[in-house]
Amino acid sequence: MRRDIRSGIESWPLERPFRISRGVKTAAEVVTVEIEADGVMGRGEAVPYARYEETPATVLAEIREVTDALASGAGRADLPGLLAPGAARNAIDCALWDWELKQGKASLPLLTRPLATALTVSLDTPEAMGEAAVALAAAPLVKVKVNAEDVEACLRAVRKSAPAPKLIVDPNESWDLALLASLQPLLAELRVDFVEQPVPSEIDAGLAGFERAVPICADESVHVSRDLDHLVGRYDMVNIKLDKTGGLTEALVLLEAARARGFGVMVGCMISTSLSIVPALAVAMHADYADLDGPWWLKQDRPGGITVEDGMILPPAPGFWGTNRA
């Protein structure tokens, strides 16, 4: 029996602009896949990663190139031979997981309790970032987006407004090694838990032997499990994102491999709907940190998705993804 495969592009407006060192978003542009067979539909969503020259159009084209194979029965084990790790493979992999779980053909523990997530203060003036942080003062974890300008002023403004939460600093590859070194005393003073991908992945060899006051987490420098060997000695942690790994299947492999090598683990996301987040929760349940606030930025999320309250993710409604319970 052939499966029915549907795919498309959706745009979900944001409640407020989201700025990082590379640019600003006003909407979440996502690519979706639906796989239907035996009266059951599996859904997946991915967010194209501009850093790797992905666009909604190119990701959709990749998916449609393998639609016949999927319709004929290709499964998760076949995907690495069909697509490279990335957003297209992620959307398909998660749709297949959803279908298999609803059919009882796979098992996977899903989130049933609240889980702490980072809430993000996006890049802006120090004054605006301090004002944004006021609303997050009771959250357990805050992530601060910065670039190479006014770093100290921005971080001090956020920490003054939110003195209690754990703090993550994310420059999105915008620093160099000299700036990273100069900021070590400040990072320690402000009780930063770790810095995420401070320098471009192309120059991260310079992190080997770097004397750090706080841990350093790889993001752009790690996509799949085979990347881990060259991170040893450079990074203390890794950020697992399903849009980089090419889906939940490889994300679970990466989680196990990272733990085996002694890395700390964070599970992250792009700005997305809950359909991207719920599969990632299956990994985040076993991580040290979660940064899964993508839907928190939307004007409106998918019905039945996760809820974020005071920095805690509440599980989605039964039947949203991965279960057929009504």
The residues annotated as belonging to the active site are 145, 241
Strand order in the sheet with 40-46: 4-20, 23-37, 40-46
Amino acid at 307: T
CB 75 within 8 A of CB 97: no
Tokens 């209690």 belong to 164
Q: How far apart are CA 162 and CA 216, in angstroms?
A: 22
DSSP 114-173: -EE--EEE-S--HHHHHHHHHTTTTSSEEEEE--SSSHHHHHHHHHHH--SSEEEEE-TT
Among candidate residues 266, 282, 292, the one with its CA nearest the CA of residue 321:
282
DSSP 69-102: HHHTT--GGGHHHH--SSHHHHHHHHHHHHHHHH
